[in-house]
A and B are shown apart, each in its own frame.
Chain A
């Protein structure tokens, strides 16, 4: 924690109450970064001017004055949030058997559907919970997730119709059941839609996204949905990166771009369950193909004018440029699980995040018996919300820990043996952060971000400096 203004009176960096500024190699030919790991403040400086910057410079003097503001902001972001969204599984079941799914197979094959009455009761209880702490006029979000939520679409549809004035709704679907009637209903009611696709061809997609009896028509279903959703701004496509598709990320990005997809996630598979670990890409082998795909995506934006935001990378950029503007809450510590959102299973059980739904010991209670408040204060939720990168190695000494957040607690716990362990992709995050800094250095960051991201209501500039190292 940073001290008071009086305590920080020393003119020096890295001693006493002065700013902690750590040099960070970013792979840029002329510049490197300095970072305050505690507050996530950064500057990019010409390499031959680093010593003068650290000795006494305008930018350091400016930062010293705003250091406490930055520290307070990070404290609020990391520890001061209340949930404003729920990931709602209206069924345990799925009509697919994807290699890396975080829902156990038995659950997906023979789990329960939530009845229409139970779904309506759930939404009522959730409305009451959110209304106790969310500001008037701001609607909480309900994202129907899975498993495959459209297997229980009749109940989902009833819930949306009954509560559309009280919640903003989203659906994440594998698209196999997204017929014209369903799609028309969802878009007419402005439901945010997420699809999933893993390859530029059916042959690649089928390697990981398949039916219980074999490949099926998953790939064609998603292409059909993307064609029909062309022009709908509220949809995105999740690509799960595994060893089965890491070699074709660039053609996959080209295909998504050609379909006019407004945004996507290029996620390394979460290694919470064994099935995912079996198809994971080795940590050190991911950044190269990922960055090449991002570069190709930017090239296509420059050529065509259509911007497809790769949201998980955009989130890393935002973590650097405007930490509180993050849209994803995986890459912050503690993560958003049990803080910014929580997950509801089809039987009413509450978990910090969907990633924990297969892990019974992380159930915080049941919506119909104990309620959300009790789950929020349960030991199961505390185990996740208490995972803090400031408290375990190697994260606590890592300069970029507040850009990365060391995701994911479920993965760390199940794959690496405990909450105070790193996740599966430490090097990958390092390289993303370095790349993000290079883009900022070269004035390219906005190509990779949502348009007008910095024009949101209430957006303020805390620090904005460019010039020579010692200029007044």
Chain B
């Protein structure tokens, strides 16, 4: 990654990453839904989601 493109920090200057010119749609919106069963926290994450 060139220095010019390296992300910088700061709230007023949002981080920018190199992005491919891939997006062609004017607008996208998406939302999916399922039953909520998350139990992880910052001290533990469940990798396999088997629940039976």
Q: Would you list which residues of chain A between 440 and 468 have a CB under 8 Å from chain B?
A: 440-443, 450, 454, 456-468
CB-based contact A463/B47 at 8 Å: no
Is A28 part of the contact surface with B, judged by Cβ < 8 Å?
yes
CB-based contact B32/A438 at 8 Å: no
Q: Enumerate chain A residues within 8 angstroms of B17, measured Cβ to Cβ.
A: 27, 291, 295, 435, 438
A469 to B7, CA, bound (A): 30
A30 to B44, CA, bound (A): 37
Q: Enumerate chain A residues within 8 angstroms of B25, measured Cβ to Cβ.
A: 466-468
B4 to chain A, nearest CB (A): 14
CB-based contact A137/B22 at 8 Å: no
CB-based contact A469/B29 at 8 Å: no
Determine chain A's interface SS by DSSP, over half rule: mixed
CB-based contact A311/B51 at 8 Å: no
Q: Enumerate chain A residues within 8 angstroms of B3, measured Cβ to Cβ.
A: none
Is A113 part of the contact surface with B, judged by Cβ < 8 Å?
no
A388 to chain B, nearest CB (A): 17
CB-based contact A44/B22 at 8 Å: no
Is A108 part of the contact surface with B, judged by Cβ < 8 Å?
no
B52 to chain A, nearest CB (A): 6
Is A42 part of the contact surface with B, judged by Cβ < 8 Å?
yes
CB-based contact A59/B36 at 8 Å: no
A396 to B24, CA, bound (A): 34
CB-based contact B44/A170 at 8 Å: yes
Q: Enumerate chain A residues within 8 angstroms of B15, measured Cβ to Cβ.
A: 27, 287-288, 291, 431, 434-435
Interface flags for B1-38 (1: CB within 8 Å of A; 0: not) read 10000111111001111011011011111111111111
> Provided the pairs A25-B14, A170-B44, A353-B41 are in contact, do residues A324 and B27 lie with their beta carbons within 8 angstroms?
no
Is A90 part of the contact surface with B, judged by Cβ < 8 Å?
no
Determine chain B's interface SS by DSSP, over half rule: loop
Q: Enumerate chain B residues within 8 angstroms of A26, measured Cβ to Cβ.
A: 14
CB-based contact A430/B11 at 8 Å: yes
A45 to chain B, nearest CB (A): 4
- CB-based nearest B residue for A263: B47
- CB-based nearest B residue for A411: B42
Interface flags for A42-86 (1: CB within 8 Å of B; 0: not) read 111110010001000101001100100010010011000100110
CB-based contact A329/B40 at 8 Å: yes
- CB-based nearest A residue for B11: A427
With beta carbons under 8 angstroms apart, the residue of B30, B41, B48 that contacts A465 is B30
Q: Enumerate chain A residues within 8 angstroms of B35, measured Cβ to Cβ.
A: 324, 458
CB-based contact A462/B33 at 8 Å: yes
Q: B residues touching A (Cβ–Cβ < 8 Å)? A: 1, 6-11, 14-17, 19-20, 22-23, 25-52
* 22 intermolecular pairs with C-beta atoms under 8 Å apart: A27-B15, A27-B17, A28-B16, A41-B29, A70-B31, A84-B37, A291-B7, A292-B6, A292-B7, A323-B31, A324-B33, A324-B35, A327-B40, A354-B43, A430-B11, A431-B14, A441-B28, A443-B23, A460-B32, A462-B32, A463-B30, A469-B26
Q: A residues touching B (Cβ–Cβ < 8 Å)? A: 25-31, 41-46, 49, 53, 57, 59, 62-63, 66, 70, 73, 76-77, 81, 84-85, 87, 137-139, 141, 143, 145, 168, 170, 172, 192, 194, 233-236, 238, 262-263, 265, 267, 270, 284-288, 291-292, 295, 311-312, 315, 321-330, 336-337, 340-341, 353-355, 407-408, 427, 430-431, 434-435, 438, 440-443, 450, 454, 456-469
Task: Add 18 more A-B contacts to A31-B23, A431-B14 (CB < 8 A).
Answer: A27-B16, A29-B16, A49-B26, A66-B31, A170-B46, A234-B47, A238-B43, A262-B47, A285-B9, A286-B9, A287-B15, A321-B32, A329-B41, A341-B41, A438-B19, A459-B32, A463-B30, A465-B29
